[in-house]
Chain A
Amino acid sequence: MAESLHDDNLVRYLDGEMDEEERRLFEHKLQADVKLREQLELLHTASETVKYYGLVDQVARVHKKVISARRQSISGKVVPFRRFLRYSIAVAASILFILITWQAYNFFKLSPEAVFAEAFVDYNIPTTRGDGQKDTTAFIHLYKTGNYDSLIKLENKYPAANDQEHFFTGLAHLHQEDAFYAIPPLETVVANAASTYKQDAEYYLAMAYLKNKDYDKALDLMQIIHNNPAHPYNGQFTDKYLRKVQMLKWR
């Protein structure tokens, strides 16, 4: 009982529940009693322990709220980015699909005749040639008048004897949709480096190859003409045109 009262007074003193007179008397006792002071210190440590724990608990509650909000905020920032990424991929895929479809359409729409017609230009006979020779031969006359069949018959009877005759023979066959027979005379002209018809023959030979579906040979010759800015037919074989011929080759 005494001990219990003792303890009770200690707790009341610790908690500041004594009035002034009581406190003064109790402090007097404390001064005289070492054990009492030790007990008070123990109780004080206990009460301080509670206060410390209370602080830890309060910080922990705020910590939980803040960290949780922070994590939500971080995951929230990721979602819009993911959404953006998804949309971007979808848009890119759609564009790619359209491009592929368009390319596929163009690929299957391609026809050798259309590609040939796109680049073919008829040969204009100049009034005089660079070498001063007058173009008044039978071959030239027949070509000028569009008598390609007669020109070919003439050549069959009197085989071409020079580059000019070879050249017009080749052109005549080309006009007759007979690319296969246009190739040899044009190759003959192209083989002669000194020929004044060489560059013209290169162009028509390339077109003859194309017509004859010799795509590799056509592309080789077209590339040579394309790479030479000084060639009179350079403008006929653009990059785009060469790609079309390439696609014809793949088909």
Chain B
Amino acid sequence: MESTVEFITDEEIKDNIILNKDIETTIGYLYRTHYEHLARYIQQNSGSEQDAEDIFQEVVVMFIRSVQMKKFRGESSIRTFLYALNRNTWLNELKRRGRAEVREQKYRFTEDMDNYGADRMIENREGHRQLLDTMEKLGDDCKQILLLYYYENQSMKEIAEVTHYENEQVVRNKKYKCLKKLEEMITVNKLLYQQLKSLLNG
């Protein structure tokens, strides 16, 4: 459950992410602290309010992944890193939309971006979209059971209580089938597989 806190240090934010602790509170804090000025950048550079919202949402995901993969270790402040992520993601988006002025621009990342591997993350936005698309095709039941197990780290017993399955063994079998189904969806499309590997491994 998200709660609002006055202030969280950069160090605490990193720790929360690595330990998978108070994630919603941390995400909420990132929004409250950084959204306004990052949104302003996008709106001052040909973007709408919707663009600013969408990009920031992506930026938060990329930031958390950077910390989880130990690519962002805190050499710069989180504020600086988020700003760079935001700016470069927006430039990438403009490039994707085929904006002429950006096509002529040589868009390159700062050294910091290279060090964090965030450049690949930004370039892998297509992989991000493909991933979301693939998961949506999985179906609600499989999505639920896999998320409860792999993302929320719930036990078979806890999952059985939350879902409509009779017992732990049934849950285990269902989870196995769903994972295999997802594996097949990934395997069938070699390009998708490569994109996902690139996105997930950084």
Residues of A whose CB lies within 8 Å of any CB of B are 7-8, 11, 15, 42-43, 45-63, 65-67, 70
Chain A residues with Cβ below 8 Å from B64 are 55, 59
Q: CB-CB contacts of B58-84 with A at 8 A, as 1s and 0s?
A: 001100110000000000000000000
Give the number of chain B interface residues (Cβ < 8 Å). Answer: 39
Q: Does B152 contact A (CB under 8 A)?
A: yes
Residues of A within 8 A of B197 (CB): 45
Say whether chain B's binding surface is mostly helix, strand, loop, or mixed. helix
Task: Please determine whether A60 and B146 come into contact, CB atoms closer than 8 angstroms.
Answer: no
Given A45-B196, A59-B60, A65-B2, also A52-B65 (CB < 8 A): yes
**Which one of B53, B179, B199 lies within 8 Å of A47 (CB-CB)?**
B179
B31 at the interface (CB under 8 A from A): yes
User: Which residues in A have their C-beta under 8 angstroms from that of B146?
Assistant: 50
Q: Is B93 an interface residue (CB 8 A)?
A: no
On B, residues with C-beta under 8 Å from A are 2, 23-24, 27-28, 31-32, 35, 53, 56-57, 60-61, 64-65, 128, 131-132, 134-135, 143, 146-147, 149-152, 176, 179-180, 182-183, 186-187, 193, 196-197, 199-200
- 9 interchain residue pairs of minimum CB distance: A54-B151, A50-B150, A62-B27, A66-B31, A53-B135, A46-B182, A46-B183, A48-B200, A50-B146
Question: B65: which A residues are within 8 A, CB to CB?
Answer: 52, 55
| B100 smallest CB distance to A (angstroms) | 31
